[in-house]
Structure 1
Amino acid sequence: MAQHSRETTLSGPVAAHRLLSLDVVLALLALAGALRVLYLAAPTPALPAEAANVAHAVALRHFTAFTDAGGAGVSPFGWWQLSACATVSDAFGRSVTALVAVRETMLLVAVLGALLLWVLARRLGLTRWAAAAAVLLLAASPLALGLQRLVVVEHLAAVWALGALVLLTRPDARIRHDVPAAVCLLAAVLTSPLALVFLPAAGWLLVRRSPVRAALVAVLLNLGLGIAFGPAAGLLRPQLAASGRPSVADWVALDPAWAVLSTVALVAAPAVAALRPFAVSGLLLVAALLVPGVPDTAVLALLLPVTPLLLAGVVQAVTRQRRPSHRWEGRRGTAVAAVVLVAVVAVGWGYGYPAQRPAADRGGPLAEARDWLRANGSGARVLVDDGAWAELAKAGWPTGALVAAAACATGCPPAEWAVFAADETGLRDRYPALDAAFDGSGATAVFGTGEGRVTVSRLGLPPADPAAPSETSARARAGEALQASARITFTPDAVVPLRAGRVDSRLIATIAALAALQPVRVAAFPEVPGEDPAGQPRRRVLLTGGEDGAAAFYTGQRDPFRPSSVVRTGDGVLVTYLLFAPPGLLVPFSSP
């Protein structure tokens, strides 16, 4: 009974310790997940290659081939992981856009990475609070929030590498743990070749324990890499993305404190025996930043979980080495150091969080362009860039009707529409055949502004006759005549586009004809979203008063004056015409 009582007494503090650790790690994971949900759809910083990775994931879900516009690198194994995770979690079905659907996978990967970092820190001998500080830096850093929301395969590679290191640092590790560790390392390298920088750390940990087992893991890893980069190279061999923006400077601007603390950790970590293997990998990643052509974003994605671990380990080692003469002196020194550290981090984070502008709207310009095209050109053959390909394919557009920009390497296949969310000028420079596809075509709808601008163009329209009278001038003069009619009443909002010549000629002609039958009240010429920035005339009208007669009048029209829809609403009768009125409907108003 005495022995049983003693075991119960000893187990109480141990159980409480474990429960506290569980509470701490769950709180940290909840923080990491919540912040990433908030910033999931943030538009900046933007990575051009992200659209291609999303498109490849969507293409694999549809079991179809896709060729990106170049510069995104190659990672078949990484794309399969992205597609499988988004499919299993039904992210494609729940999310507004394909981009947000695949970014949800990045959210899960970030939370899993934080959990693995906690386990690794504890197995390296870090205290509960030192491990918590390392995970907190990874979970809440603005740089980590901005980077880990992007669809970058290196995030997947970092989790595989952390999983391998967790297995290799297991206190009671056996050969049965070394084999999964070798598989994780192989998966990391197949996801991104940059993950090779973690092999020295893994080898160092194995050699410390058993050179024979290190040789076994090396044989397994070399065998897998030999197959992947040899006979199966066409299916598995990864390649790095092209270098470009965002650069290291762009990322560091979000969190300067991370750069300073990371530098301190990388310099000091080799002095701590337990941290040396990881310091080597961190220094190799820093060296990779100096290699021309290596993408900075990919390197930082792998470096993110390393430096918080090194920093926490260095701070713990320094704290333990100090032996103050008085206990109060030690506590005061630790408190001062903690306050200084928190102040440095807070100053950096004060800029980084607002700079990313979390977006409440998970759709964005590309989703608006997709919806507009579905309403005005459903099922048509569309020339698209990588981002538009993913969104239209996710929305159910036939993939056979989507012509990727890369298909214009020698000559563009015929298409009726074009949707470009990326730098159209850059794509034209890369694929000169695009110039022929866009010859004589102008923007039909424009969504968003700046770098997020999405342009929808109608291809194949006959070129305008330079000798023909201006349609805009004819519409403006006809609008003035319409406004002068005593049988037609316009609200002030309706007068502005009418006098500017921005109302469709079919509407002007039919309103004049309707006024001959009954008095007409025009409440508005509602804008079709995206068309005003492209210079398209308003092709909708809201009529109030005499609604029965107005609805019957427009329903009975014939081409070219037959509207696409006549809808009774709570505000009146909404009449909508298709795009592109035939020229010459207002010939009497063509000249002053």
Structure 2
Amino acid sequence: MTATQERPTVQAPPRQASRDLAGPPAVAPKNRRIRGWLARHGASLVWILPVLALAGIVQRINMAGSPQRIDDEGTYTAQAWAIGHLGELTHYTYWYDHPPLGWIQIAGYTGLTGAFGRYDQAVMAGREAMLFFALVSVLLVWLLGRRLGLSRPASAVAALVFGVSPLAVQFHRTVYLDNVAVPWLLLAFLLALSRKNQLAGFIGAAFAFGIAVLSKETFLLALPFLAWVMIRNSDKSTRRYTLATSGAVLALVGLSYVVLAAVRGELIPGPGHTSLISGLTFQLGTRADSGSIFDTGSLFFKVVDQWWVLDQVFIVMGVLSAVVALFLKRFRPLAVLVLFAVAVMFRPNSYVPVPYVIMLIPFAALLIAGVADAAVKTYRARRAGKVTTTLSRVGGTAWLVACAVAIAALVPLWTVQLRGFLQTDLDQPMVSAEQWVDDNVPHDSRLLVDDSMWVDLVNDGFDQDNVIWFYKIDTDGAVEAQSPNGWKDSDYIVTTDSIRTSAAGSPDVQNALKNSTIVASFGTGNQLVDVRRINPEGATAAKQSAESEKAAQTAAGTEISENPNLVASDALKKQLAAGQLNSRALVVLGQLLGTGKVTVADLEPLPGEEGSSFRRLVIESAAGEPGSQLTDWLKNVGSTYAPSTIRTTGAGTEVVFPAIEPTGLLG
């Protein structure tokens, strides 16, 4: 090219054209991973997410109302509360009845989520933690089903049955250590079925199983079956090494409990302290047995009857599935586990705790779904001409028929039972009793209570040393030291079904009940909660004092009923003449009648005080102290006779006097 020649002009392409030539922008690696994961697991999510949502909704709705709150819930909730608020394993002497890891996990959940701050009743914070553990378990049931070879629909059925069976709802909602242990047990079996990275999987399984046992010691029953799964699933070339390593991990986790006892100087029995050996001796040897299943009055019968009433269809199908699954190799360890655990209940002199069934629910659900899945696959194979044995054809068809019958029975049963869980408020009597105690009992009083209300009353301002779990009064040395006179050093006992059924084991509680008077009562039947005032001078002296007080009230009431300044119905005058108005109210009403005409409405009891002396007056008008002057007058009657509340309503001035009053006010 010569100097005189012009260079050809190259025109740059437009920017849009440059982008087109460069192709689409690269997808970020993170987005690619997410899309890839969703592509692989999208079908599974379609099945499991609705099950999780349904289980969560069923477990959460009316969680505070049903089932009825029980003392075990209060025990574990209070211990979890003590970890977060007192920095102690328990707020009483820890006596190694259970390993503490279960309520430590509950404390972890409530501490991280602030659950105790969301509820007036502390046990409900514990129930929220149970909801969390239940949902984790639902997911693990699904994953374990898939790992066992179940189809997605069958795995979803297993997870659904585990999540919403009335038997499951009853126990998943209740604050039991077993519910904390279940997800760890399921995780252990899931990891034991690992094919890839088997050493890591087996170590994880051993660790998870150790956590399960330290959450609830009865889960140790599952150890032989977890070992069976690991041995059968292990690679022969590395079996000895992987099993030995995982066994060492399990031993180390278990020994941590022994180390805890040793560090605290409480490994072996000795004077002045509890011990791990003593706790194990009680749990395994000296604890009273549950009696015979054939004795309708035995604990064994009552426990099994409770399970049966909740969901007999699930129980029958679970046991039948376990029997059938003995012939299905992949389910055989789980089947033997369920049948073995059932057999253990019937051993001589056995103790069967109410939550024993919790460990069996997930495995029974998996077996029901697993056997049904196998039957469906057998049916399809037969239709395709691949099944030739008569046993396979008949067995598969028979099980599908059994499933159809079970579903027909299950729908009405579950409908009735779940409606009760979602609508019935069984906790209201206990809530009302707690509120009554907070409003009417002096906060320096000493109370014997059910475990389930301990934290609530402490949060209401009662000193924790003055709120005593009823069974600690004569079993805990620290409490006995604070109560040298036993039951006589307590002022009130709040009785629930738990206290009434357990009182026989405690002489102090029996004496407190015999020498106490009901001052408020809420609910009926098993939900009955009584607030009782303890009479340290004895029942006879208390009765004489009450009769004397009643006579004084009758005399004063008769005099007031005849006062010409009283404007009232004949019904009210009869109530006064019968001595049904309490002493403070009689004194104040008598003084008010001295100022002029007073119109009073008929007496009505306050909630929980039916049968007691009335302590509420509704003054419709008072000629001598009209309007706001009446309120001022009532506020200045003196501390001995002062009302607890005064409020103006459409009916007049409502005056409520304290429930607890000293004797002798009427002379």
Instruction: Tell whether the structures are fold-level matches, with TM greater than 0.5.
Output: yes
Find the counterpart in structure 2 of residue 504 from structure 1: 582
Query: Equivalent residues in 2 for 1:370-449 (5 A)?
Result: 370-376=434-440, 377-405=442-470, 406-409=472-475, 411=484, 412=486, 414-434=489-509, 440-449=515-524
- Give 2:246's match in structure 1, choosing from 191, 195, 217: 217
- Give 1:522's match in structure 2, choosing from 600, 605, 610: 600
Find the counterpart in structure 2 of residue 536 from structure 1: 612
- Give 2:430's match in structure 1, choosing from 366, 372, 376: 366
Q: Which amino acid aligns with 2:458?
A: A
Find the counterpart in structure 2 of residue 563 from structure 1: 643
Taking a change above 3 Å as real, the CA distance of residues 46 and 519 of structure 1, as seen in their structure-2 partners, is: closer
Find the counterpart in structure 1 of residue 314 from structure 2: 258
Provide the C-alpha distance between the structure 1 equivalents of 2:465 and 2:411, rounded to a whole number of angstroms.
Answer: 51
Root mean square deviation of aligned Cα? 3.6
Provide the C-alpha distance between the structure 1 equivalents of 2:570 and 2:400, rounded to a whole number of angstroms.
Answer: 66
TM-score (structure 2 length as normaliser): 0.76
Taking a change above 3 Å as real, the CA distance of residues 459 and 12 of structure 1, as seen in their structure-2 partners, is: closer
Deviates more, 1:215-224 or 1:504-513: 504-513
Q: Which amino acid aligns with 1:294?
A: Y
3-state secondary structure, aligned to 1:466 = helix
CA-to-aligned-CA distance 1:368-406 (integer Å, 9 cap, x gap): 222222222124332333233233234453312323331
Q: Which amino acid aligns with 2:234?
A: R
Indicate if the aligned counterparts of 1:167 and 1:181 stay in contact, CA closer than 8 A.
Answer: yes
Provide the C-alpha distance between the structure 2 equivalents of 1:81 and 1:565, rounded to a whole number of angstroms.
Answer: 43
CA-to-aligned-CA distance 1:302-356 (integer Å, 9 cap, x gap): 00000111121122223223433479x99x9798676434213224425533565
Find the counterpart in structure 1 of residue 8 from structure 2: none
Quote the offset at 1:251 in angstroms. Answer: 0.6
Indicate if the aligned counterparts of 1:168 and 1:205 stay in contact, CA closer than 8 A.
Answer: yes
Identity of aligned residues (%): 27
Find the counterpart in structure 2 of residue 4 from structure 1: none
Find the counterpart in structure 2 of residue 107 from structure 1: 131
Provide the C-alpha distance between the structure 2 equivalents of 1:23 and 1:37, rounded to a whole number of angstroms.
Answer: 22
3-state secondary structure, aligned to 1:156 = helix
Taking a change above 3 Å as real, the CA distance of residues 466 and 526 of structure 1, as seen in their structure-2 partners, is: closer
Matched, 1:119 2:184: no
Provide the C-alpha distance between the structure 2 equivalents of 1:229 and 1:255, rounded to a whole number of angstroms.
Answer: 39
CA-to-aligned-CA distance 1:224-265 (integer Å, 9 cap, x gap): 323434664759968659754751222122111112211121
3-state secondary structure, aligned to 1:579 = coil
Q: Which amino acid aligns with 1:61?
A: G
Quote the offset at 1:86 in angstroms. Answer: 2.3
Provide the C-alpha distance between the structure 1 equivalents of 2:545 and 2:341, rounded to a whole number of angstroms.
Answer: 63
Find the counterpart in structure 1 of residue 15 from structure 2: none
Quote the offset at 1:184 in angstroms. Answer: 0.6
Taking a change above 3 Å as real, the CA distance of residues 427 and 559 of structure 1, as seen in their structure-2 partners, is: same
Taking a change above 3 Å as real, the CA distance of residues 251 and 499 of structure 1, as seen in their structure-2 partners, is: farther
Find the counterpart in structure 1 of residue 366 from structure 2: 309
- Give 1:130's match in structure 2, choosing from 148, 154, 170: 154
Q: Which amino acid aligns with 1:252?
A: W
Q: How many residues align?
A: 572
Taking a change above 3 Å as real, the CA distance of residues 188 and 62 of structure 1, as seen in their structure-2 partners, is: same
3-state secondary structure, aligned to 1:397 = coil
Quote the offset at 1:360 in angstroms. Answer: 4.4
Quote the offset at 1:178 in angstroms. Answer: 2.6
**Long gaps (5+) in structure 2:** 1-22, 24-33, 268-274, 291-298, 388-392
Taking a change above 3 Å as real, the CA distance of residues 126 and 525 of structure 1, as seen in their structure-2 partners, is: same
Provide the C-alpha distance between the structure 1 equivalents of 2:524 and 2:648, rounded to a whole number of angstroms.
Answer: 34
- Give 1:205's match in structure 2, choosing from 209, 229, 238: 229
Q: Which amino acid aligns with 2:430?
A: L
Q: Which amino acid aligns with 1:458?
A: R
Query: Equivalent residues in 2 for 1:134-533 (5 A)?
Result: 134-207=158-231, 208-210=233-235, 211-212=239-240, 213-229=242-258, 232=261, 234=266, 243=290, 244=299, 246-291=302-347, 292-322=349-379, 323-325=381-383, 339-353=404-418, 358-360=423-425, 364-376=428-440, 377-405=442-470, 406-409=472-475, 411=484, 412=486, 414-434=489-509, 440-459=515-534, 463-464=541-542, 466=544, 470-476=548-554, 478-490=556-568, 497-532=575-610
Provide the C-alpha distance between the structure 2 equivalents of 1:469 and 1:249, rounded to a whole number of angstroms.
Answer: 45
Indicate if the aligned counterparts of 1:270 and 1:279 stay in contact, CA closer than 8 A.
Answer: yes
Mark the structure with the bigger radius of gyration: 2
Indicate if the aligned counterparts of 1:365 and 1:448 stay in contact, CA closer than 8 A.
Answer: yes
Q: Which amino acid aligns with 1:575?
A: V
Taking a change above 3 Å as real, the CA distance of residues 263 and 518 of structure 1, as seen in their structure-2 partners, is: same
Provide the C-alpha distance between the structure 2 equivalents of 1:102 and 1:373, rounded to a whole number of angstroms.
Answer: 23
Indicate if the aligned counterparts of 2:372 and 2:400 stay in contact, CA closer than 8 A.
Answer: no
Quote the offset at 1:32 in angstroms. Answer: 0.9
Q: Kindly indicate whether structure 1 or structure 2 has the higher relative contact order, using CA contacts under 8 Å at least 6 residues apart.
A: 1
Indicate if the aligned counterparts of 1:45 and 1:356 stay in contact, CA closer than 8 A.
Answer: no
Indicate if the aligned counterparts of 2:448 and 2:469 stay in contact, CA closer than 8 A.
Answer: yes
Indicate if the aligned counterparts of 1:380 and 1:401 stay in contact, CA closer than 8 A.
Answer: yes
Matched, 1:27 2:43: no
Provide the C-alpha distance between the structure 2 equivalents of 1:389 and 1:539, rounded to a whole number of angstroms.
Answer: 28
Taking a change above 3 Å as real, the CA distance of residues 170 and 437 of structure 1, as seen in their structure-2 partners, is: same
Indicate if the aligned counterparts of 1:389 and 1:402 stay in contact, CA closer than 8 A.
Answer: yes
Quote the offset at 1:266 in angstroms. Answer: 0.6
Indicate if the aligned counterparts of 1:475 and 1:505 stay in contact, CA closer than 8 A.
Answer: yes
CA-to-aligned-CA distance 1:473-519 (integer Å, 9 cap, x gap): 55345445544444323368856744543211332333233223222
Deviates more, 1:141-150 or 1:465-474: 465-474
3-state secondary structure, aligned to 1:408 = coil
Provide the C-alpha distance between the structure 2 equivalents of 1:120 and 1:85, rounded to a whole number of angstroms.
Answer: 24
Quote the offset at 1:300 in angstroms. Answer: 0.7
Find the counterpart in structure 2 of residue 18 from structure 1: 41
Find the counterpart in structure 2 of residue 550 from structure 1: 630
Indicate if the aligned counterparts of 2:68 and 2:527 stay in contact, CA closer than 8 A.
Answer: no
Quote the offset at 1:143 in angstroms. Answer: 0.9
Provide the C-alpha distance between the structure 1 equivalents of 2:438 and 2:547, rounded to a whole number of angstroms.
Answer: 33
Taking a change above 3 Å as real, the CA distance of residues 415 and 189 of structure 1, as seen in their structure-2 partners, is: same
Quote the offset at 1:199 in angstroms. Answer: 2.1
Taking a change above 3 Å as real, the CA distance of residues 50 and 256 of structure 1, as seen in their structure-2 partners, is: same
Deviates more, 1:454-463 or 1:256-265: 454-463
Indicate if the aligned counterparts of 1:69 and 1:385 stay in contact, CA closer than 8 A.
Answer: no
Q: Which amino acid aligns with 1:38?
A: I
CA-to-aligned-CA distance 1:160-194 (integer Å, 9 cap, x gap): 11011222223423423332221111011112222
**Long gaps (5+) in structure 1:** 2-10, 588-592
Quote the offset at 1:113 in angstroms. Answer: 0.7
Quote the offset at 1:580 in angstroms. Answer: 4.3
Provide the C-alpha distance between the structure 2 equivalents of 1:15 and 1:434, rounded to a whole number of angstroms.
Answer: 60
Deviates more, 1:209-218 or 1:425-434: 425-434
Taking a change above 3 Å as real, the CA distance of residues 569 and 69 of structure 1, as seen in their structure-2 partners, is: farther
3-state secondary structure, aligned to 2:494 = strand
Indicate if the aligned counterparts of 1:279 and 1:310 stay in contact, CA closer than 8 A.
Answer: yes
3-state secondary structure, aligned to 1:49 = helix
Q: Which amino acid aligns with 2:243?
A: A
Q: Which amino acid aligns with 2:534?
A: L
CA-to-aligned-CA distance 1:101-141 (integer Å, 9 cap, x gap): 21111111111111100011111111111101111111221
